Amino acid sequence: MSELKILLAGEGGQGVQTIAEVLAEAFALEGKEVSYIPAFGVEQRGTPSVAYLIVSNKEIRYPKFELADYLIILQKRAIDTVKSYSHIGAKIIFDSSTISLGDLPKTETAVFGIPATQIAIEQFYAKAFNLIILGKLAKVFGLDQDKVWELLFGQLKSKFKTKEIEKQAERAFRFGYGFVFEVKKYSEPVFQPSKHDIVVKGFGKTAKIIPARCKGCGLCITKCPVAALKNSKELGVYATPVPEIDLERCINCGNCRLFCPDGAIEVNKDK
């Protein structure tokens, strides 16, 4: 093929631009013409982050495109931004542990799933998510895994604080490279934010936690003087753990309510 158009869509903080940059460098080392441009909003976290990547044998005249050959979708909230780039010939690669098939743009084409979030949390560490994706993409685009890892290591060197994390990261990357896509039968999108408010009653107090607003910053857990709060299995709006409250310990000091930036938690005394 003379020209390959790749669109990566995710959310700020997921590492979409890092993946795209490493891929672009890897293609460039193979002697291809590459163009990569990022597009993201003003926020640092939590809004769609899109990368346009063109790989060609000829000179590239314009870095944007209207229809993509590959759509890599890593976050549900980014789908609206990129769905117009999909067409009948496109191939879609998505994170099947956070996105359900029904949310994807409707095409009659090949859809490949990789439950990267689940693998990262269960086998490696949560941030290894993008390494698994990058490993798989390196395989899909026929890039040499050692070369890609070298480029990636150059990018992320400063972020690996210990040798342990570095080793795990490399394992995650190579695991992704060897992963076999899910086709037709996908993982359950288990990592979904909880939609319902959590109301807990007891010991003369009523606590209300709203997962739809919780961003998982952990301020309430840090500020609780009696350690009545801890992370639970419910997930908040950024698929981070929502606090759960032990009302027996709670002294109703109100610190969690004062410090929650998003108004997601409150404990009140029953009248």
Please give the Cα distance from 122 to 191 (Å, whole number).
12
Q: Is 80 an interacting residue with respect to other proteins (CB under 8 A)? A: no
State the residue for tokens 């669109």: 7
Q: Is 216 an interacting residue with respect to other proteins (CB under 8 A)? A: yes
Min dist CB 100 to other proteins, Å, is: 21
Using CB under 8 A as the binding criterion, the count of chain residues that bind other proteins stands at 33
Please give the Cα distance from 241 to 235 (Å, whole number).
5
Please give the Cα distance from 108 to 73 (Å, whole number).
17
- Binding pattern for the stretch 222-251 against other proteins, x by CB under 8 A and - elsewhere: xx-------------xx-x-----------
Q: Which CA distances in Å does 20 have to 90, 98, 131?
A: 18, 21, 12
Q: Is 144 an interacting residue with respect to other proteins (CB under 8 A)? A: no
In the list 1, 42, 180, 227, the residue contacting other proteins (rule: CB under 8 A) is 42
Min dist CB 21 to other proteins, Å, is: 15
Min dist CB 32 to other proteins, Å, is: 29
Tokens of 142: 């026929």
Q: Is 47 an interacting residue with respect to other proteins (CB under 8 A)? A: yes
User: Which among 83-91, 100-108, 110-118, 252-260 is the span making contact with other proteins, rule CB under 8 A?
Assistant: 252-260
Residue type, 52: Y
Instruction: CB nearer to other proteins: give 133 or 207.
Output: 207
Instruction: CB nearer to other proteins: give 82 or 237.
Output: 237
Which residues face 49 on adjacent strands? Answer: 10, 40
State the residue for tokens 């408010």: 197
Please give the Cα distance from 237 to 223 (Å, whole number).
21
The gap from C-alpha 81 to its chain's centroid, in whole angstroms, comes to: 16
Tokens of 19: 């993946």
Query: 204, 269 in Cβ contact below 8 A?
Result: yes
Which strand (E) or helix (H) includes residue 201? Answer: strand 198-202
Instruction: CB nearer to other proteins: give 34 or 210.
Output: 210
Q: Which of residues 196-215 bind other proteins (CB under 8 A)?
A: 206, 208, 210, 212-213, 215
Q: Is 45 an interacting residue with respect to other proteins (CB under 8 A)? A: yes
Residues that bind other proteins in the complex, under the rule CB under 8 A: 42-47, 206, 208, 210, 212-213, 215-219, 221-223, 237-238, 240, 257-266, 268
